[in-house]
C-alpha cells in the first residue's frame, strides 16, 4: 500500500506540471493585454510598456513558467496583478467557503441519491423505477446555472424564504448547496441502482432469501454493504468536481469562494491568480482522488487480498534471490 501511495504521489508531479504549463499557454494566447488593464485604459503606450516590464511580461514563456514553479515550490504563487495582494493568502481566505459548499452539497446528495437508487432497484421495471430514472436523467442533464436561477426566482424573489446571495446566515447556504446537490444526487442514484441490480442477483443474496431472512435484512445488511463499494469512488469524484465546479454557484449567489476568485482572475487576466488557483484546485482534486482510492482499497476485501498476494510474491522473490546469492 505504501508503495502504491508513493507511486501515485510521484505520478501527480508531471500531471500538475503539465496542467500549470498548459494554463499559462492558454492565458498567454488569449486576446487582451493585462498590462493595459493594470495601467488603465487612458494610459500612454510608454506607461503600458513600463507596467509590462515591471510585471515581467516581456520575459520568455519558459522563464515565466520557471519563476512560477519556483515560487510554488516555496509555498507562494506570487502577487496579484490587480489587487497587489499575495495570491496564496487570498486563496486560503476563500478556500473554506468552497470546501464547505462542496461538503454540504455532496453530503446532501449522498443522503438523497442512495435511498432513491435502492428504492428504484427494488422496484425494477415499475412506474416507480421509471419515474426515478426519468428524474435522475432530467437532473443530470439540467444546466446548473439555469437551475440555480430558477431556485433564486422561486425561493428568494417570489417566496422570500431565503436570501438570494451572500453568506450572512445559514439560510444563505440553502440555495447554492441544493443547486449543486440535485445533479450529484442524480448521479449517485443512477450508480446505486446499477450496483444494487447487480448485487441482488448474486448467489449469496438468493441463498439469504431462501433461508427465510427478512427482505429488509437481505437488502440493507447484505446487498447494500457490497453495492456501496463502487459508490465510494463516485462520491469521491463528485467531491473533486464540486471543488472545481462551485464556480457557477459561487458566482450566481455572490459567495466569496475560490470559484468566484478564479472567475474574477480570468476576467482580469490576472496571471498569478489564474495559475495559482488552477494549480491549487488541481492539487486538491488529485489528493482527493488518491484518498478515495486508499479508502476504496481498505473497504474492498478483493483489493486488500490483491495487495497481500503482491507482498507475498515480493517476499518469496527476495527469499529466492537471497538463497541464490548464498
The domains of the chain, with CATH numbers, are: 91-270+291-315 (1.10.3720.10)
User: Stretch 166-170: mean pLDDT, rounded?
Assistant: 78
Chain centre distance of CA 236: 8
Q: Among 141-155, 194-208, 251-265, 297-311, whose mean pLDDT is lowest?
A: 297-311
Average pLDDT of the segment spanning 126-155:
84
Instruction: Kindly give the interhelix angle for 2-29 and 61-73, rounded to the nearest 10 degrees.
Output: 140
Instruction: Output the pLDDT for position 303.
Output: 59
What pLDDT sits at residue 191? 87
Whether 80 has a pLDDT exceeding 60, the answer reads yes
User: For residue 293, with 0-12 CB atoms within 10 Å meaning exposed, 13-18 middle and 19 or more buried, which class applies?
Assistant: middle
Instruction: Please tell me what DSSP assigns to residue 154.
Output: I
The pLDDT of residue 308: 58
Tell me, yes or no, if the pTM score tops 0.85. no
12 vs 74: CA distance, rounded Å: 18
- pLDDT tens figures, 56-71: 878 888 888 888 888 8
The most confident of the ranges 52-56, 183-187, 198-202 is 183-187
- The stretch 287-297 carries a mean pLDDT of 78
> Comparing C-alpha atoms, which of 41, 82, 35, 72 is closest to residue 55?
35
Query: Residue 310: what pLDDT?
Result: 56
Q: How far is CA 187 from CA 69, 96, 99, 120, in A?
A: 36, 25, 20, 13
Task: Kindly state the average pLDDT of the residues 131-148.
Answer: 83
Q: How far is CA 260 from the centre of its chain?
A: 16
pLDDT at 319 > cutoff 60: no
User: Which range has the top average pLDDT, 66-70, 243-247, 300-304, 307-311?
Assistant: 66-70
Q: Please give the backbone phi and psi of residue 86, each rounded to the nearest 5 degrees, phi first.
A: -65, 125
pLDDT for the residue numbered 210: 82
d(CA 156, CA 66): 47
Residue 318 has pLDDT above 60, yes or no: no
Can you give the pLDDT at residue 320?
57
Q: 186-200, 239-253, 304-318 — which is least confidently predicted? A: 304-318
Please compute the mean of the pLDDT values over residues 150-154 and round it to a whole number.
85
Model confidence over 193-224: pLDDT tens digits?
888 888 888 887 888 878 877 777 777 777 87
For a pLDDT cut of 90, what percent of the chain falls above it? 0
Question: What is the model's pLDDT at position 20?
Answer: 85
Strand partners, 79: 86
Amino acid at each position: 500500500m505504501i508503495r502504491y501511495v508513493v507511486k501515485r504521489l510521484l505520478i501527480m508531479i508531471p500531471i500538475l506540471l503539465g496542467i500549470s504549463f498548459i494554463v499559462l499557454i492558454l492565458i498567454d494566447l488569449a486576446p487582451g493585454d493585462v498590462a493595459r488593464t493594470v495601467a488603465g485604459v487612458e494610459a500612454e503606450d510608454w506607461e503600458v510598456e513600463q507596467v509590462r516590464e515591471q510585471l515581467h511580461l516581456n520575459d520568455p514563456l519558459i522563464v515565466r513558467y520557471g519563476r512560477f514553479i519556483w515560487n510554488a515550490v516555496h509555498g507562494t504563487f506570487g502577487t496579484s496583478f490587480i489587487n497587489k495582494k499575495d495570491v496564496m493568502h487570498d486563496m486560503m481566505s476563500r478556500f473554506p467557503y468552497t470546501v464547505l459548499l462542496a461538503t454540504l452539497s455532496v453530503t446532501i446528495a449522498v443522503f438523497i441519491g442512495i435511498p432513491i437508487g435502492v428504492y428504484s432497484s427494488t422496484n425494477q421495471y415499475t412506474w416507480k423505477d421509471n419515474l426515478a430514472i426519468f428524474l435522475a436523467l432530467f437532473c443530470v442533464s439540467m444546466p446548473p446555472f439555469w437551475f440555480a436561477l430558477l431556485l433564486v426566482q422561486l425561493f428568494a424573489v417570489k417566496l422570500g424564504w431565503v436570501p438570494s446571495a451572500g453568506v450572512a446566515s445559514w439560510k444563505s447556504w440553502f440555495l447554492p448547496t441544493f443547486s449543486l446537490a440535485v445533479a450529484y444526487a442524480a448521479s449517485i442514484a443512477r450508480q446505486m441502482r446499477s450496483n444494487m441490480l447487480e448485487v441482488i442477483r448474486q448467489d449469496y443474496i438468493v441463498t439469504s432469501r431462501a433461508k427465510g431472512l427478512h427482505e429488509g435484512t437481505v437488502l440493507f445488511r447484505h446487498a447494500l454493504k457490497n453495492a456501496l463499494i463502487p459508490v465510494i469512488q463516485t462520491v469521491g469524484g463528485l467531491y473533486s468536481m464540486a471543488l472545481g465546479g462551485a464556480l457557477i454557484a459561487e458566482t450566481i449567489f455572490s459567495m466569496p469562494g475560490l470559484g468566484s476568485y478564479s472567475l474574477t482572475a480570468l476576467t482580469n487576466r490576472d496571471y498569478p491568480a489564474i495559475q495559482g488557483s488552477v494549480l491549487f484546485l488541481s492539487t486538491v482534486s488529485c489528493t482527493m482522488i488518491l484518498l478515495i482510492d486508499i479508502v476504496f482499497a481498505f473497504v474492498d476485501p478483493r483489493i486488500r487480498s490483491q495487495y497481500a498476494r503482491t507482498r507475498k510474491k515480493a517476499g518469496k522473490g527476495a527469499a529466492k534471490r537471497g538463497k541464490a546469492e548464498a
